[in-house]
Copies of this chain bind each other. A is one copy, B any other.
Amino acid sequence: MPLTADSLNPALRSVEYAVRGELAIKAEQHRVALQKGGEHAQGLPFDRVISSNIGNPQQKGLDQPPLTFVRQIASLMEWPALAELAPGAFPEDVKARAKQLQEEIGSIGAYSHSQGVPLIRQHVADFIAERDGHPSDPSDIFLTAGASAGVSLLLSLLITNPKDGILIPIPQYPLYTATLAALSGAPIAYHLDEARDWETSVPALREALQKASTDGVRPRALVVINPGNPTGSLLSADTMREIVQLCEAHDLVLLADEVYQANLHRPAHAPFVSFKKVVRDLQSRAPLVSFHSLSKGVAGECGRRGGYLECTNVPEDVKALMYKIASVGLCPPVQGQVGIDCLVRPPRAGEPSYALYKAETESIHGDLRERTRKMAARLNALPGVSCVDAPGALYLFPRISLSDSAIKAAEAKGKAPDALYALELLDATGICVVPGSGFGQKEGEWHYRLTCLCPGVDDYVGKLVKFHEDFSKRYP
């Protein structure tokens, strides 16, 4: 059989991943055209592309600076001789930390243990224990190539046939539906409640379980993203308890995506309450797998591909199977693991690196908080736009009313109406967002997601506002 796209795995062909989909590809084409200049860039009414489609804090044009502490450790791990060659360049605590890691790991060019460097897993466990006030065991921790790799591992284990289902919030980060499509599993949608700031509704969860049962779908796990993506919402303590109890009652594995746990914009929400804490507080037997990442938070080290998962109430033989599958991929990137070590062991007060670390992280938190607030306010002032002022994560998910003429124009082009909106936004302003249809939304509603990472927020939101006004005139 000749090699054609039609001959390939239909499950993979069916995968949709809007965050890097049509919009992102077109944005890349605009970027290349601007780079080439001259006739290539002719007719483009903007001089740069602004990638608001993905939570990628350090990308060009956003330029959230990396944390100096993280990079000092990383550079010493790459070339330990620097400690002698440039002794004055590194604070003493950085040198001591790098030395300790080098003694444990040896060269970062070697494969590590497939589950991750044992000492780093111990540090992750210490971090979790301190955060939650409950013990954590390094043998329950798997370091991963970003949270995505951990999610993919779990879903691939849980799906055994097309009638195995996973409860997924709508709207959701499309990693979940994409991975599930690749595995030919069944997504069981539960809708978040926009009117209550995107809160998870336990009745909606029960309804979704009921519908699955009617459809002959066997629910295996429940995905919760907290803080939410794309919504930025935060679960209340009551809801978290009810979710854990529901999982225990229905034998569901709770998959807790907590990668934005450090992105909390309001003092009232700190410190972060994890599902691990709730499970242990309740003395629940619900199996839980929690995911965290180096890519978000204040580190924002997406390119390093670092993350971890923690198993709670997961049987030993399940962990052994997870280890076996992880071992086929050999090991997570070791620089990602070193990054996780920095994430879970930031400099403490009194250490030489502390002052700079504190200043850098406070500046990142402050900028994000301010931008989110300001952007939400200006979007909410627009006719036909309403936007929950997100208390967490890196995004806003405004809802937009679209006129019949806009909906018809989209239909004529074979696009979802919010995809038309996003494409015209890109072509008019160079701003790349992701239409709500890429995350899922209620029938007849339209949204888009944009990140709150862009500097120069006045100019940036000004472009959004002007485009919205023009679009509303074009499609009255």
Contacts and interface: CB of A to CB of B under 8 A. Distances in A.
A377 B434 CA distance: 63
Interface in A194-219: 218
A441 interface: no
A21 B324 CA distance: 8
Contact size class for A?
A: 35 or more
A158 interface: yes
Interface stretch (A37-45, A66-74, A257-265, A455-463): A66-74
A333 B335 contact: yes
Interface stretch (A310-318, A382-390, A425-433): A310-318
Nearest to A86: B86
A145 B148 contact: no
Q: Could you say how many copies of this chain the assembly holds?
A: 2
Given A85-B86, A146-B330, A113 B5 contact: no
A465 interface: no
A369 B287 CA distance: 51
B8 A158 contact: yes
B85 A79 contact: no
Contacts of A149: 329
A112 interface: yes
A381 interface: no
Contacts of A336: 333
A58 B9 contact: no
Nearest to A3: B287
Given A79-B71, A327-B20, A303 B114 contact: no
Interface stretch (A175-183, A355-363, A406-414): A175-183
B330 A253 contact: no
B158 A59 contact: no
Contact of A157 (B8, B160, B179): B8
Interface in A365-389: none
B303 A110 contact: yes
Interface stretch (A11-19, A234-242, A397-405, A444-452): A11-19
Given A106-B60, A145-B145, A287-B3, A74 B78 contact: yes
A331 interface: yes
A134 B57 CA distance: 40
A2 B81 CA distance: 52
A58 B145 contact: no
A468 to B, nearest CB: 28
Contacts of A88: 85
Interface string A58-97: 1110010010100110111011011001101100000000
B175 A9 contact: no
Contacts of A175: 328
A321 interface: yes
A144 to B, nearest CB: 11
A122 interface: no
A179 B228 CA distance: 33
A108 B304 contact: yes
Contacts of A331: 302-303, 305
Best-surrounded residue of A54, A89, A157, A329 (most CB of chain B within 10 A): A329
Interface of A: 1-5, 7-10, 12-13, 15, 17, 19-21, 24, 28, 54, 56-60, 63, 66, 68, 71-72, 74-76, 78-79, 81-82, 85-86, 88-89, 106-114, 145-146, 148-149, 152, 156-160, 175, 178-179, 182, 218, 220, 251, 253, 287, 295, 299-305, 314-315, 317-318, 320-321, 324-325, 327-336
